[in-house]
Structure 1
């Protein structure tokens, strides 16, 4: 999934400790207890306009955590609540503030073919996945899923894509091969 915005500098920058957000939402390294004591806030980069907040149902954050609009969550929560947890976040763009939801995906599948995928070698010699290749067939029992190995990579099913199209939600989909 990706935002419908076709311009540069439209990522959401989270305020506060992004390590804790990443540890909970992506790495599953914490229990998320800190979320009971913080107010989640984010700021749009300078390329986003105030009216973009009204038309987007998905925003991209700098840490790779899915951010969905209130409209998207209201329409999909009856089935996505089984796979995801939603946390309200105030997104500020210029002078406008709007509620969106950070999403923790709790469904996992092994779907990346690591032998065929592209990697970048980092300074310390470790590899970072840059171009995942999907060769495994997804089961259609999910809407959103994360890879079991690279938890920062997640995918949407055809069922979710169809739901988005039927409800005319403003989300785009990337095809990963």
Structure 2
């Protein structure tokens, strides 16, 4: 099955969703590191950068966040949330106190990255020779035998991709979501 990455729908500066600093650590821990936090017991407030106008926020089915957590529209979740429930759980998010979207906690994990040819930053120093290198330029696998709509890499928690099944949902429901095949 071919793999794809979600692409920015809007090619503008300042077109990300961001979160108040007091929530950022909990969002990262819960959505990326699979740690329990209290963040999802309420609707998560978020703000749009100025490049995301009211018109754009009303018409997008996926948005980019400053951390690598997928954000989907209410329209998207209503139409395919149940279909995708094996791979992702959706948590309500209110953008600019006005637009209801959903943060996706990706449950499915599999290898998406070719670790041998990806590039890493070596962060070790004289005091800490055992520090793990940090992925700087991932090289994604172009396909997988796994069956999923959306998955997070098994080692690199901040990396996720979508599949042909997800692409088929975009086409069928005419979602305003842009994807790019990885190679």
Asked if the contact 1:3/1:56 (under 8 Å) is kept, the reply is no
Q: What residue ranges of structure 1 are gaps of 5+ in the alignment?
A: none
- Post-superposition shift, 1:136? 6.5
**Count of aligned residue pairs for this structure pair:** 172
Q: Secondary structure at the match of 2:105?
A: strand
Q: Distance in 1 between matches of 2:65 and 2:58?
A: 17
Tell me the C-alpha RMSD between the 2 structures.
Answer: 1.9
Alignment match, 2:128: none
Alignment match, 2:16: 11
1:39 aligns with 2:43: yes
Alignment match, 2:168: 162
TM-score, normalised relative to structure 1: 0.88
Q: Distance in 2 between matches of 1:147 and 1:56?
A: 25
Q: Distance in 2 between matches of 1:32 and 1:114?
A: 30
Q: Distance in 2 between matches of 1:62 and 1:80?
A: 23
Q: Spell out the pairing of 1:116-127 with structure 2 (5 A cutoff).
A: 116-122=117-123, 127=133
Among candidates 58, 72, 76, match of residue 72 of structure 1? 76
Which deviations, in whole Å up to 9, do the C-alpha atoms of 1:21-53 show, x marking residues without a partner? Answer: 10010011x2244422x4311000122111011
Asked if the contact 2:112/2:160 (under 8 Å) is kept, the reply is no
Among candidates 135, 153, 159, match of residue 141 of structure 2? 135
Q: Secondary structure at the match of 2:80?
A: helix
Higher relative contact order (CA 8 A, sep 6+): 2
Alignment match, 2:103: 102
Alignment match, 1:27: 33
Which deviations, in whole Å up to 9, do the C-alpha atoms of 1:44-102 show, x marking residues without a partner? Answer: 0122111011111111111111100001111111211121110000011xxx7110000
TM-score, normalised relative to structure 2: 0.86
Segments ≥4 residues shifted beyond 3 Å: 120-126
Change (3 A) 1:116 1:90: same
